[in-house]
Chains A and B, each alone.
Chain A
Amino acid sequence: MSETSSVLSYIQEKLGGKILGALRPQGDDVVLLERTGLRESFRIFKEDPGLDFNFLSDITAVDYWKRQDPRFEVVYQLTSLLKRTKLRVRVPVPENEPEVESLTPLWPGANFLEREVWDLFGVRFSGHPDLRRVLLYDEFQGHPLRRDYPVNLCQPRVPERHVDGTFVDERSHNKLMRLKHSLGRKS
């Protein structure tokens, strides 16, 4: 297994201290990146003519609970459509401050992907324009893909909620009003 490739050594040259490690498992280029100044590092990945990773394939996270010290790892898959190369960027994120910079200013498509990571892992993205849950509902408690979330945990039933713009049947109106009052739902 060769430990270096031209892409990896070029990145190490460009980013130097921010690279925590470079690996080549199964022939993929993988870098471990420090999370400070994440957006600037990705701007280099995207715009440097020697790298040219213009396409963001995926953002996800892995929870290494009780296995690794920075508990989370946010994983980015980058693709260069012109050079036909791929790069995987793993960013360790500690448990006490699960927050990384958002890539939405660079790739607007990161919006939904980051919302999903926030939803399922509880990793925040600073600078994200609209960090809401995407797959689960607002009242959901906890983040289900964390390893300490039990697989058989039941969530409390959520009462019917009034959303602006919905047609409201008069008969259920009083009930809704009560629920709205008790929940104190912010709109």
Chain B
Amino acid sequence: MKAEGHELPSEVMELQMGPSHPATHGTIKFNLKLEGEKVLACDVEAGFLHRGFDKSCEQATWTQVIPYTDRLNYASPLINNVGYALAVEKLIGAETPPRCQYIRVIASELSRIHDHLTCCGMAASELGAITAGFYMIEARETITQIVEQLTGARLTVTYVRIGGVRHDLPRGFQDSVRQSFQKIRKLLADCDRLLSRNRIFIDRMSNVGAISQETALGYCLTGPILRSTGVNYDVRKTFPYLVYDQFDFEVPLGSKGDNYDRFVCRIQEIEQSMRIIEQALEKLPVGPVWIDNPRFVLPEKEKVYNSIEGLMHHFKIIMEGILVPPGETYFAVEGGNGELGFYIVSDASGRPYRVRVRPPCFIAMGAFHKMIEGYMVADIIPTFGMVNMIGGECDR
């Protein structure tokens, strides 16, 4: 259509955004084709943080893989730990005691809150809502402190083991969780007042980066991106694992599939995760946190130092690794950004033959061009923010 008056030159411009752009936290590059400010085509270039996760895992014992999984999605390391441990336990055919399962649920949900707060806080501050961003970072800090209490580390947790968790909940855990949640609820209420009816925020988020249900399913999207289009797929509900079927929680759904719906889904999921943790702490059963099988569990230090059997037992597990029976299996958990699956193959040698992660971010980046084509360059920032691409997981 011929526009009246004078025309702006409509030559297609090629622009490379990234890999080190302030908004592309994590390193990723967009090769854009622009017409004025409109994005005509977007080719995503990933892999700047590729460090050979799969290949490294093949060199390590089954237990040594756990620290590598911390570094996949470093916004929710506990979920990665849990997912990997559950996949290996599925291959072994072991089921952990109920207390361990409850602790794993608590750990996963803490990580999920951490992930969503990171995502929403960053997205808000990139749109200029620095205050809301810092409020969420403050809320996140309380979660990080709980994680530190629980695991001894803030980020690289390595808490879950095959057949159990490293240790039981620390003393005073329930109180610190209660205090933290009080603070988070207050901060989120503040953020809600700052953002939910904020004209600038809504203009930049609503109807931007929208995709339809069919597109989201076709592009294998999961997590808040898929749920924002209205598809009710949450691994915790559809294929319940651990003890998720014993909790009362809802799966927040959107309708339009745009950035605002994704944002709202994530914020509501934080509340649901807090509900799950509160119920889990209430119902927390008493008992051991390790399975009762000496082939997978390290002996107590007292036995190691005082008896030859204990020492040999310890030595065998450390040096030879856990022996996982031959076979292959796939296990998926609901990660912060979607279905986080582990496909593992064992050849009974004490080392994994293959460890494959289904990375939700990587798949979301494969659909990114669908979300952004037809929108403006400036819309890349909130859209990319709401995908919550984590370099460690996307590029492995």
Contact = CB atoms under 8 A, between A and B. Distances in A.
Interface of A: 25-26, 28, 54-58, 60, 62-63, 67, 75, 77, 81, 84, 86, 88, 107-113, 116, 120, 133-137, 144-145, 151, 163-166
Nearest to A112: B366
Contacts of B347: 67
Given A112-B365, A136-B47, A164 B343 contact: no
Contacts of A145: 54-55
B134 interface: no
A89 to B, nearest CB: 11
Name which of A25, A26, A110, A137 has the most chain B CB atoms within 10 A of its CB.
Answer: A26
A101 B87 CA distance: 29
Contacts, number: 101
Given A26-B327, A62-B354, A112-B366, A120 B54 contact: yes
Contacts of B363: 109, 112-113
A135 B330 contact: no
B220 interface: yes
A163 B19 CA distance: 14
A120 B55 CA distance: 10
Q: Most A CB atoms within 10 A — which of B15, B345, B395?
A: B345
The B interface is mostly helix, strand or loop, or mixed, namely mixed
Given A135-B46, A145-B55, A164 B14 contact: yes
Interface string B364-389: 01110010000000000000000000
B318 interface: no
B217 A54 contact: yes
Interface of B: 14-16, 31, 46-47, 50, 52, 54-55, 58-59, 90-91, 93, 215, 217-221, 231, 233, 238-239, 327-330, 332, 339, 341, 343, 345, 347, 353-354, 356, 358, 362-363, 365-367, 370, 395-396
A77 B340 CA distance: 12
Contact of B330 (A56, A84, A88): A88
Contacts of A112: 362-363, 365-366
B330 A28 contact: yes
B220 A56 contact: yes
Contacts of A25: 327-329
A60 B217 contact: no
Contacts of B50: 135-136
Nearest to B222: A57
A75 B58 CA distance: 18
Contacts of B54: 120, 145
B47 A134 contact: yes
Contact of B345 (A62, A110, A134, A136): A62
Given A58-B330, A108-B215, A109-B363, 18 more contacts: A28-B330, A55-B233, A58-B343, A60-B356, A60-B358, A62-B345, A62-B354, A75-B343, A108-B218, A108-B219, A108-B370, A109-B366, A113-B220, A136-B47, A144-B52, A151-B55, A151-B58, A165-B15
Contacts of A133: 47
A120 B327 CA distance: 22
A14 to B, nearest CB: 22
A62 B59 CA distance: 15
B56 to A, nearest CB: 8
B330 A77 contact: yes
Contact of A165 (B14, B52, B217, B341): B14
